[in-house]
Amino acid sequence: MEIFKPGKVYDFMGMRRFWIALSFLLTFGSIFLLMVYPGPNYGTDFRGGTEIEVAFKKEVDQGKIREAVTATKQFSEPDVVQVQDPSNHSRFLIRVQEISTVDETTKEALKKALCLGVEAPADDPTCPATARATEVKFSAGGDKLGVRYDAPPDLERIKKQVMSIGGVKLRESADNPAEINKRDHRVEIQLQSKGDQLLEVLRTQLGADTVPDHPLRIEWVGPKAGKQLRDSARNAVAISILFIMIYLAFRFDLRFAPGVVIACVHDAVVVLGAFVIFKKEVTLSTIAAVLTIVGYSMNDTVVVYDRIRENLGKHRGKSFGDIINLSVSETLSRTILTSGATMLSVLAFFIWGTGVIHDFAFAMVVGIIAGTYSSIYVAAPLTEWIDKRMSKGDITQTKKRLSAKPA
């Protein structure tokens, strides 16, 4: 299928100064937004914290939710983001920085209440043998305790021991605490997580007729894990671009590799800049979209490069700029059809998708536009510039050799 008239050659390189200037503006503008102000809005994946998604029973605005969370002073200033859902206009993501439900002081108090390491007679009323822990382990989030006993445990007594500590609440369940290993006398105790406590605060402040009994989901990530994920995501993008450069250097030659790398970096930075402008969260899904875009952009650029290489052998008398115009014109229909088909698929997710799918589709929409454009006006002009510099260097070296010869 041919969208453009066969044989028609468009002067893409004639407009390259304008588009290159636009690329510089987009790239450095995005870098400013990412590095200086206002910076990326990292999601819980990268920043750490507790996040709950709640579908409220009644309409409520972001301001009231924020006031309700901060009213009890149990939580820091929350991030409240509305989730686009046609079936429920009061669906929100609520994120706070607090993670663990127990601090070190509370942990020590719980160990003491559970009679950890106490040496006393078996019939001691304060710490009987059936409620005397020999080992207490806390989960990373602080919402679970693994406790071991030497004798069959008295679950009711253990429950009272835990609830005797101020500020500690058990998660409502018929089997909490529960003996999970009868041979080793292991008991699991589930405490209210920060997500549970956050929902309880909302229910207290806004009313049970507004706040549901359970959130749609609860997630938490520690700050150390968030930093590791952030570093790994950055390294994944950098390594993928490095291997792309090595691959292209072998497939074509050194003139072509820098153009693809700069185009891929351009596309990734522009997508992240768009996320900052539209105040969208940068999460692991965003990085997945960026890596997809890098691969898509490289594929589109390789098609153009392959045609340039073919035409360099066919049209030896033409300049490199003319070869680029011819090659891009010949592949333009293929580029529009491929990008258009992909865009239609992604737009469906962008329009009707919600949450993570919507943001992923947004990144893909921006990335497809940037990737298609960068193949023509970032990669190709840079390759032409490198070719000119290399040709100029060859001519200079030839002149030096000729001038060095004796007359």
Q: How far is it, in rounded angstroms, from Cα 274 to Cα 257?
A: 26
Q: Is the peptide bond before 177 cis (omega within 30 degrees of 0)?
A: yes
Superfamily in which the 13-42+222-391 domain is placed by CATH: Multidrug efflux transporter AcrB transmembrane domain (1.20.1640.10)
Q: How far is it, in rounded angstroms, from Cα 16 to Cα 13?
A: 5
pLDDT at 399: 40
pLDDT at 315: 82
Q: How far is it, in rounded angstroms, from Cα 27 to Cα 398?
A: 38
Burial profile 355-365: b = 16 or more Cβ within 10 angstroms, e = fewer: bbebbbbbbbb
Residues in Cβ contact with 322 at an 8 Å cutoff, skipping those fewer than 6 apart: 315
CB distance 220 to 49 below 8 Å: yes
Encode pLDDT of 120-179 as tens digits. Answer: 776 777 788 778 888 999 887 677 889 998 888 888 888 888 888 887 888 888 888 999
pLDDT at 240: 81
- Topology, domain 49-100+195-220: Alpha-Beta Plaits (3.30.70)
CB distance 294 to 240 below 8 Å: yes
CB distance 221 to 284 below 8 Å: no
Residue 325 CA: distances (Å) to CA of 284, 361, 384: 38, 31, 11
For the purposes of burial, counting CB atoms within 10 Å of the CB of 267, is it exposed (0-12), middle (13-18) or buried (19 or more)?
Answer: buried
191 DSSP 8-state letter: B
Q: Which long-range contacts (CB under 8 A, 24 or more apart) does 207-211 make?
A: 209/57, 209/58, 210/56, 210/57, 210/58, 210/60, 211/54, 211/56, 211/57
Beta-sheet pairing, 186-190 with 217-221: unpaired
pLDDT at 402: 38
Q: How far is it, in rounded angstroms, from Cα 190 to Cα 378?
A: 56
Residue 228 CA: distances (Å) to CA of 46, 114, 221, 232, 336: 8, 35, 11, 6, 39
To 10 degrees, the CA torsion angle through 57, 99, 163, 118? 160
Statement: the pTM of the whole predicted model exceeds 0.75: no
* Helix (H/G/I), strand (E/B), else coil: 127: coil
Encode pLDDT of 218-235 as tens digits. Answer: 887 766 666 777 788 788
The residue ranges of the chain whose pLDDT is under 70 are: 1-4, 100-101, 122, 141, 222-226, 253, 355, 392-407
CB distance 167 to 148 below 8 Å: no
CB distance 370 to 267 below 8 Å: yes
pLDDT at 33: 93
Q: Which long-range contacts (CB under 8 A, 24 or more apart) does 270-274 make?
A: 270/26, 270/27, 270/30, 270/366, 270/367, 270/370, 271/363, 271/366, 271/367, 271/370, 272/30, 272/34, 272/40, 273/26, 273/29, 273/30, 273/31, 273/33, 273/34, 274/30, 274/362, 274/363, 274/366
Q: How far is it, in rounded angstroms, from Cα 27 to Cα 21?
A: 10
Encode pLDDT of 289-332 as tens digits. Answer: 888 888 888 888 888 888 888 888 888 888 888 988 999 888 88
Residue 314 CA: distances (Å) to CA of 141, 301, 307, 382: 65, 20, 10, 22
Residue with tokens 């340039």: 308
